[in-house]
Amino acid sequence: MIRWSRRFSGNARAGLIPPAMLVGAKGLGLIEMTALGLPVPPGFILTTDVCREYFGNNRRLPSGLEAEVVREMQWLESETGKVFGGTGTPLLVSVRSGAPSSMPGMLDTVLNLGMNEQTARRLAAAGTGESLAWDSYCRFIRMYGEVVLGLDAVDAPTDAVAGPEAAAALIEVVNRDSETPFPTDPWGQLWGAVLAVLDSWRSRRATTYRRLHDIPDAEGTAVTVQAMVFGNAGAESATGVAFSRDPSTGDPAPFGEYIRDAQGDDVVSGIRTPAPLRGGPESLEQVMPESYAELCAAFRLLERHTGAMQDVEFTIERGKLWLLQTRTGVTSTEAGLRIAVDMQAEGLLSREQALLRLNPASLGRVLHPSVRADLPRTILTRGLPASPGAASGLVALSSDEAEALAADGKPAVLVLSETHPRDVHGVHAAAAVLTARGGATSHAALVARGAGRPCVVGAGDIVVDVAGGSFRVGNVLVKRGDVVTIDGSSGEVSAGALELEQPQLSRSFATVLEWADDIRRLGVRANTASPGDVDTARLLGAEAIGLFRTEYSFLGPESLAEIQSMLLATDDGRRRRALVALEPLQRAAYRDLFTRAKGLPVTIRLLDLALSEFLPKTADEIAAAAEAAGISAQEAAARVAARSEANPALGHRGCRLAISQPDLYAVQVRAILAEAHAADSAPQILVPMVASAREFEAVRTAVADTAESLRDETGAAARYSVGASIELPRAVMQAARIADTADFFSIGTNNLTQTSFGVSRDDAAAFLERYRAAEHFAGDPFSTLDIDGVGALLEIAVERGRSTKPNLEIGVCGEHGGDPESIRFFNSVGLDYVSCSPYRVPAARLAAAQATLKGR
Amino acid sequence: MIRWSRRFSGNARAGLIPPAMLVGAKGLGLIEMTALGLPVPPGFILTTDVCREYFGNNRRLPSGLEAEVVREMQWLESETGKVFGGTGTPLLVSVRSGAPSSMPGMLDTVLNLGMNEQTARRLAAAGTGESLAWDSYCRFIRMYGEVVLGLDAVDAPTDAVAGPEAAAALIEVVNRDSETPFPTDPWGQLWGAVLAVLDSWRSRRATTYRRLHDIPDAEGTAVTVQAMVFGNAGAESATGVAFSRDPSTGDPAPFGEYIRDAQGDDVVSGIRTPAPLRGGPESLEQVMPESYAELCAAFRLLERHTGAMQDVEFTIERGKLWLLQTRTGVTSTEAGLRIAVDMQAEGLLSREQALLRLNPASLGRVLHPSVRADLPRTILTRGLPASPGAASGLVALSSDEAEALAADGKPAVLVLSETHPRDVHGVHAAAAVLTARGGATSHAALVARGAGRPCVVGAGDIVVDVAGGSFRVGNVLVKRGDVVTIDGSSGEVSAGALELEQPQLSRSFATVLEWADDIRRLGVRANTASPGDVDTARLLGAEAIGLFRTEYSFLGPESLAEIQSMLLATDDGRRRRALVALEPLQRAAYRDLFTRAKGLPVTIRLLDLALSEFLPKTADEIAAAAEAAGISAQEAAARVAARSEANPALGHRGCRLAISQPDLYAVQVRAILAEAHAADSAPQILVPMVASAREFEAVRTAVADTAESLRDETGAAARYSVGASIELPRAVMQAARIADTADFFSIGTNNLTQTSFGVSRDDAAAFLERYRAAEHFAGDPFSTLDIDGVGALLEIAVERGRSTKPNLEIGVCGEHGGDPESIRFFNSVGLDYVSCSPYRVPAARLAAAQATLKGR
């Protein structure tokens, strides 16, 4: 027989710890805290099996569950000495969701369950106090009405009344608006709440969240039923949210907020602005020093047990601390790095454990730009700095507006009075977020941190007028579409688009990446498209320039004019003159490259543009190019038209151009080799779009001929190697033959994905999102390598290439080289290195180390 | 020690027959004829090893060769009783090229070698006659000057002189124009001629010919040195070219031409118009009946020995027949078929041998259109019908002009006074060929027949004026660019473009294909794009419609308007109305298909167009579509622009459209199934551009849903199967998973080639020819399957697909399905069928039979 539930109680002996997949992350935290001897109110957990059965059986609860819940409630009565729905001291419970994966705020919770008028009166009579009893009852009616009965908002006609009148008025509102009347029977309340929590698993916002975070629908949520404790039991009571360290900076002291005489939801929802745990006369440290000390001790125990920064919910009921939840806290990337380094130093984690804790994809966030401190600015307001980084954008006053702007490719700053869980998509779509209310642990802050968006919360002096299309700060009016800048590190909100600057990288950042470099097997290089990128690549720890794209060096106005003249000219003299004019421009580009590379190895890809991309487009451009080429505009237009391509991605480009325009490539190769010789560098020359061994050999021979003539003419004997870009499926199949003469392979996974799927990167948007939603494709194959298809081809290329040359150097130069999941695959198939854009180099270094550790 | 030569002589015992690769096809023919006892003047052959050594060693002759040639010449002197370059009866020789592969007229030949003034006088004195001696000497001086010394043309200042004066005048011309003086020493002549023949292997025209016919450069040519016999020895002498059967019709009687008192080159070059072998008082049969009978007997012997129609050169010297060359003759396709069937009936060949003799690629030629006999026409002139079929085109007066027209996509009729070997490329480029001079065995006729171009030769009343840009027939002037029609079957040349009609297929054609059908394992189906194609496919023996492209059914003006309205409409009502309007149009298309298919199985591919291809293009079209869709022209233009694609071949097309526009595909599927049910046909429904198993399954499910709703609504329970088009490399890698739910695979090799190579069919022309010339690609991968790359992927698809379903039906529906070389590969990897365009079905049937025979 299936056991549908698991118990936890400080009175009971600790049993086997069940897996999170069964009791949810929150449930597991409660069971673990109980086992560690921490103060947790007793309760029991309906496992995720219940949720799966429920949805698998057309939303019917499994048979046997009812009897089991009755037994568990009887047990809870005996644990607490209270009575559920009978006479005696009333047992009130919370009913909370809790999935195996963290889904903050996405699922439903009901507090104070078990209350009705009789209960309230008994509670008041039991010496708990009138105020607590009726406040709790009112809270319960509202929450039940909203969460279980699905009403928009349950508000009494007037706030003036209190006590029994207020409760009666609220029940009247509920019964007026709801099809189902408010259940006064606690058992009816309990089953209603359980079903509501289960149903919340399939709500739109929860489903969206799971899709964004790749959480399987089949996981399901557990349901925790736990004895209530009361933070709203007067001045000696409080409720709060606390982190064992500062989630924004990583500072190793408890950080958080609390509200006196309140219940948990008041903090999380951001409706009341809370007081801090530490610092100032209102802080918990000052007001309730014993509870604060107990909380600190609990954190030390929890961190030693979990090796991670903890995020807890606590309640103080008349001076007694209770922990209601613990989980590994979400931190800013910078804080995560600092905590990892600190915890390693404190002996809580090994280096390897610390590395595995970090999320490589988030590393790019500390590279986000910040506002330049030395420049004047118009500060509109200040709020709480809730997610670091800075961004400018157009003011959007709803999540939908932010999404619409993002869809148009425009940066949006989402400005809201307060955020609701339904705003998740808006926060993701926005470049930055600003809210008038809420604290650093509000939904907005949490989601923004998770998404790496700069965020300022609790900017209390702004007034948002959605209908009016603006927000006001004092007497300044900021309209929808105006540009503002959000600094999520300082909390400043400024008018206009401020100049941003690159961040200083922290010591923790450097330390973590040094650890990663010690461990990883896979090399990490950088893809660069201009000499400026080379500086960034060096700064961020690339060990080589894995791909230097040379197209930019041909597309400057001077070079472009010469190339157009060369392509359009009909007499050989003019063509030759254009080539002569190109040479110094080319040499300057590579001189700059080698100077900036400062000895880093460099892979230079030969020109890889479609011929059609060089040609003039407008009538004016054509006329100018025609004059330079010494032909009529009409003739030039005809030649341009003749060279237009139906599918430039599959056109006259890459090494096809090297074969049809050998003199142009000779100029490039000569410039590369001459500057390489001068810089004493031995570049790896990469031949793009290779489809056959013969064409690669032809280009290779042409490179050698150019090198020879350079040596004969100038004595400059540059060292170099020549490799093939493997980016076409045919090259994969022919890898053994290509490896005969290739010194190295560089696998161009962007193009290999394009050709394998037959999907153009430029055109995929029209259907790709639909495909991802329907899971026709596992994800966006241009972001994370499609291991089943493109990965299978890549493995063939590696195997065949190394069947010819066992030590053949093989790297990846597509943007997949910066994607952690893809890196794990690249590591597993024995590639030598990945090369990605400079800003993704740190993530790649960490991901490569994790791949090594996971592979052990 | 290497033997550089091989001998043949009627006096010697037949030794081991050497391979053609060593002595060339011509040399082998001489050795074989000698072995059969046929009259062949003695000689020896320098093997192709000499040629390879010569070019491999920087054009130096191998050591040891000189001594060997001296020995062989001494042997030849003793065989003939004549003396080379000494006193006594002079030994004259011919020096001829002869490659292993036939390269008619491409390589050089020198006749009458060994002559100088002394020899001529001795020859005259030896009773040979003054005329023969000096005529031969003059011929030799001209030929040597042109072939060996490289002069353009050697003509005496006046034709009036003859005998020694003419020879002296010619030598004076040679010595005036040439850097090297005319060698009077026979040995000097011999070495000069040998080197000239070897050098001709690398001439531009020979290199071009080899490229066109896929003959490796490394084959090399042999050089035959053979004792001369003289067709120019007076009225009892003659020279001619003869086929054992009519090469144009296959009629089983000798066919050919001869000229009395002439040497061989006079016939082949077309300078003198010859008399026929049979028919009429001038014929060889009438004039020299004994020689004619001896020739017929030789043919019977040769045909029995070779099992093939023979093409011989002969000389009659004073009544004695000599055979100078034999080879398997080039025939028209129709003649080839008839000869194969006749020879099988005559017991010369088995069916299998007969099938293997035929060239499948040529079969399409008998399907060429001909001039409708019943229509009036303006006949300009008549010539000899030299290559069957008819074509119209623009008059081109040089091969370069014909090439330029062809490059512009225009049909050219190449009109020349006479053809030279250098005109090969012009004949290939032209749609048809017309010459003023030459016979049915002239170069023009030979090359045109090989290339399948209609050709009329010897139209003696036309006068070509290249400089004037016209030709004249009587008083009619036809200018460059005027349109004429050539009927290569009747010899008629008509003004303008005549209406052409489809050929009646001969009994031989049917017989050969019946034999092929009995033998082949591979199925042959037809690709069709319209119901009209279905008729042709049935006529030409397709056993099924392997691919019915449905795009045409959506692109008719009525359908297109509805689709545009559907794609542009913003309100659902209008979209639905468009879909409703499409249904009867769709049903009519498939009703027609099933009616014409007359029970043939049919594979119907679901709509495979890029979404962008449906959209209106011009401003007028956009305005019209906007009105139909009920939106503004501006909005329509914006929507059209938003849907334009950078690379439509990799865009929103194929089953991606089935997923994004499910209602459109539902209309199509419903129409197919309703008509299939009415016709009691069980169509195979093909899903295009499948990249993942999930998307295939989604389309398959949608088809099933449509079938179910059709059955529920109308009771029509159509039988059908659903298969995947494997045309993307990712589908290849995922073939095992796709086969889980696919009933069959159809491999789209056109698109698989496009994506594997990363080469767009539409854009490849810009570089493909250069690639083929440089052999970077083995051939045009869109014509003949690239076995190493695309073929390797195809094998993976077959292997993985059948790992899931061992009996999975797999066919090919790319145009490679009609290419004989590709068919051999498809047969070898176990495909079930090929499907190609209707006109290629006969070739595919024959090629499939050959593949079976070769695989045994």
**Closest Cα partner for A311 from A294, A322, A321, A299?**
A299
Q: What are phi and psi of A694, to 5 degrees?
A: -65, -40
B554 residue type, one letter: F
For the record, the structure tokens of A550 come out as 């040379």
Question: Is B790's CB within 8 Å of A730's CB?
Answer: yes
Q: Please report where in the chains the tokens 């000052």 appear, as a residue.
A: A286
CA A563, CA A574: separation in Å to the nearest integer? 11
Give CA–CA dist B243/B249, Å, rounded. 12
Strands across the sheet with A379-382, in order?
A: A379-382, A492-495, A483-487, A390-396, A412-416, A432-435, A455-457, A384-387
Mean residue pLDDT of chain B comes to 90
Lowest-confidence pick of A9-13, A121-125, A823-827, B379-383: A9-13
Residue B288 φ/ψ, nearest 5 degrees:
-130, 70
Q: How far does the CA of residue B214 sit from the closest CA of chain A (Å)?
A: 17
pLDDT > 80? residue B161: no
Set of chain A residues whose Cβ sits within 8 Å of the Cβ of B646: 648-649, 760, 762-763
Q: Is the pLDDT of residue A157 over 80?
A: no
Indicate which of B645, B689, B763 best probes the interface with A, i.e. most A CBs within 10 Å of its own CB: B763
Mutate to test the interface with B, among A408, A613, A656 (most CBs of B within 10 A): A656
Beta sheet of A476-479, edge-to-edge order:
A462-465, A470-473, A476-479
Residue B160 has pLDDT above 60, yes or no: no
pLDDT at A399: 87
In this structure, how many other beta carbons lie within 10 angstroms of the beta carbon of residue B70? 13
Q: For B120-151, how does the pLDDT look when each residue is reduced to its tens digit (9 = 90+)?
A: 998 888 766 788 889 889 989 999 999 899 88
pLDDT: is A87 or B812 the higher one?
B812
What's the gap in Å between the CA of A451 and the closest CA on chain B?
A: 29
Instruction: Output the pLDDT for position B794.
Output: 98
- Rounded Cα distance between B606 and A203, Å, is 37
Higher pLDDT, B678 or A491: B678
pLDDT for A160 beyond 60: no
Q: Print burial letters for A775-800: b (CB count within 10 Å at least 16), e (below 16).
A: ebbbeebbeebbbebbbbbbbbbbeb
ipTM entry: 0.77
Q: What share of chain A is helix, strand, coil (3-state, %, to 5)?
A: 50, 15, 35
Beta strand B809-812 with A455-457: parallel, antiparallel or unpaired? unpaired
Q: Name the token pair of B485.
A: 């029609």
More confident residue, B366 or B723: B723
B57's tokens: 């060693």
Concatenating the DSSP letter of every residue in A404-465 gives HHHHTT--EEEEESS--GGGHHHHHHSSEEEESS--TTSHHHHHHHHHT--EEE--TTEEEE
Which of the four pLDDT bands, split at 50, 70 and 90, describes residue B620? confident
Query: Lowest mean pLDDT: which of A726-740, A793-807, B14-28, B56-70?
Result: B14-28
Mean pLDDT of A681-698: 96
For B249-275, write each residue's pLDDT tens digit.
899 999 999 999 888 777 766 667 789
Q: Which residues of chain A lie closer than 8 angstroms to B643, CB-CB?
A: 766
Report CB contact under 8 Å: B776, A652. no
| Residues of B in Cβ contact (< 8 Å) with A689 | 758
pLDDT score at B450: 59
| Better pLDDT: A421 or A496 | A496
- A694 contacts in B (CB within 8 Å)? 774-777
What is residue A328's three-state secondary structure? Answer: strand
pLDDT, one tens digit per residue, over B689-699 is 999 999 999 99
List the alpha helices (DSSP H) in A42-111: 48-56, 65-80
Instruction: Please give the Cα distance from A1 to A431 (Å, whole number).
Output: 52
Query: Which candidate in B614, B692, B777 is best for mutational testing of the A interface (most A CBs within 10 A)?
Result: B692
List, for residues A39-53, the tens digit of each pLDDT value: 999 999 999 999 999
Q: Give the strand pairing for B432-435 and B412-416.
A: parallel
Tell me the backbone φ, ψ of residue B332, rounded to 5 degrees: -65, 160
Whole-number pLDDT of residue B131: 82
pTM above 0.80, yes or no: no
Query: For residue A777, what pLDDT band results from cuts at 50, 70 and 90?
Result: confident
Distance from CA of B718 to the nearest CA of A (A): 28
pLDDT of residue B394: 95
What's the gap in Å between the CA of A268 and the closest CA on chain B? Answer: 41
Chain A's closest residue to B611, CA to CA, is: A766
Cβ pair B695:A611 closer than 8 A: no
Q: What percent of chain A has pLDDT over 90?
A: 60
Whether the Cβ atoms of residue A139 and residue A152 lie closer than 8 Å to each other: no
Query: Nearest-5° angle of CA A479, CA A406, CA A480?
Result: 5
Q: Which residues contact A714 (CB under 8 A, 6 or more apart)?
A: A674
Q: A792 contacts in B (CB within 8 Å)?
A: 733
In the predicted structure, residue A739 carries a pLDDT above the cut 80: yes
pLDDT at B807: 97
Taking the CA atoms of chain A, what radius of gyration do you get in angstroms? 32
Q: Are strands A455-457 and A384-387 parallel, antiparallel or unpaired?
A: antiparallel
Residue B361: its pLDDT value, please?
Answer: 79
Strand locations in B692-851 (E):
721-726, 744-747, 809-812, 833-836
CB contacts of B760 in chain A (<8 Å) are: 645-647, 649-651
Tell me the average pLDDT across B340-353: 96
Q: Where are the alpha helices (DSSP H) in A682-791?
A: 693-714, 729-733, 735-741, 749-757, 765-773
Q: Average model confidence (pLDDT) for chain A?
A: 90
Q: Which of B755, B772, B775, B777 would best serve as a mutation to test chain A binding (most A beta carbons within 10 A)?
A: B755
Query: Across residues A510-533, what is the average pLDDT?
Result: 91
Nearest to A733 among B754, B770, B793 (CB): B793
pLDDT band at residue A104 using 50, 70 and 90 as cut-offs: confident
Q: Tens digits of per-residue pLDDT, A216-267? A: 999 999 999 999 998 988 889 999 999 999 988 899 999 999 999 888 777 6
**Token digits for A764?**
């995929």
Which residue among B647, B775, B793 sits closest to A648, beta carbon to beta carbon? B647
Torsion angle defined by CA atoms of residues A22, A27, A31 and A32, in that order, rounded to the nearest 10 degrees: 100
Mean pLDDT of A380-400: 88
> Is A655 in the active site?
no
Q: Please report residues of A whose CB lies closer than 8 A to that of B730.
A: 756-758, 786, 789-790
The answer to whether the Cβ–Cβ distance between A766 and B692 falls below 8 Å is no
Strands B275-276 and B255-260, sheet pairing: antiparallel
DSSP helix/strand/coil, A547: strand
Higher pLDDT among residues A449 and B256, named by residue: B256
- In chain B, what's the furthest Cα-to-Cα distance? 106
Residue B360 distance to chain A (closest CA, Å)? 28
Which has the closest alpha carbon to B464: B386, B396, B391, B404? B396
State the pairing for strand pair A500-501/A492-495. Answer: unpaired
Q: Of residues B138, B455, B813, B836, which has the active-site annotation?
A: B813
Cβ contact A676:A591 at 8 Å: no
Cβ neighbors of A146 (< 8 A, separation 6 or more) are: A152, A153, A154
Q: Give the helix/strand (H/E) hosting A240.
A: strand A238-243
> Choosing from A368, A443, A677, A816, which is the catalytic residue?
A443
pLDDT score, position B761: 76
What's the rounded Cα separation, in Å, for the pair A614 and A644?
A: 11
From the list A654, A776, A790, the residue facing B730 with the nearest CB is A790
pLDDT of residue B185: 94
What is the DSSP code string of B222-265? Answer: EEEEEE---TTSSTT-EEEEEESS-TTT--SS-EEEEEET--TH
What is the distance between the alpha carbons of residues A22 and A6, in angstroms, rounded to a whole number?
9
For B735, the 3-state DSSP assignment is: helix
pLDDT tens string B10-54: 877 767 889 999 999 999 999 999 999 999 999 999 999 999 999
Tell me the chain B residues in contact with residue A793 when contact means C-beta distances shorter than 8 Å: 729, 733
- Clarify whether A836 is annotated catalytic: no
- Indicate yes or no: CB of A695 within 8 angstroms of CB of B650: no
Min Cα distance A795 → chain B (Å) is: 11
Q: Rounded CA gap, B56 and A102, in Å?
A: 75
Strands A500-501 vs A370-371: parallel, antiparallel or unpaired? antiparallel
Q: Nearest CA to CA, how far is B209 from chain A (Å)?
A: 22
Over residues B700-748, the pLDDT tens digits come to 999 999 999 999 999 999 999 999 999 999 999 999 999 999 999 999 9
Task: Give the list of residues 6+ apart from residue A381 with CB closer than 8 angstroms, or none.
Answer: A459, A461, A462, A473, A493
User: Which two structure tokens, joined as six digits, stand for A360?
Assistant: 């490589």
pLDDT at B833: 98
- The letter for the amino acid at B766 is A
| Selection from B538, B674, B550, B664 nearest residue B603 by Cα | B550
Report the helix count and the strand count for chain A, using DSSP H and E.
35, 31
Report how far Cα B231 is from the mean position of its chain's Cα atoms: 34
Contacts of B837 (CB under 8 A, 6+ apart): B526, B527, B533, B815, B818
Higher pLDDT, A761 or A169: A169
With contacts defined as CB-CB under 8 Å, which chain B residues touch A728?
756-758
Return the pLDDT at B370.
77
Residue B734: which of A646, A775, A789 has the nearest Cβ?
Answer: A789
pLDDT, position A566: 87
CA atoms of A510 and A846, how far apart (whole Å)? 11
Q: Residue A604: is its pLDDT beyond 90? A: yes
Question: Which of these ranges, A216-220, B367-371, B399-403, B670-674, has the smallest mean pLDDT?
Answer: B367-371
CB contact under 8 A, A758 and B691: yes
Q: Which residue of chain B has the CA closest to A696?
A: B776
Per cent of chain B over pLDDT 70 is 96
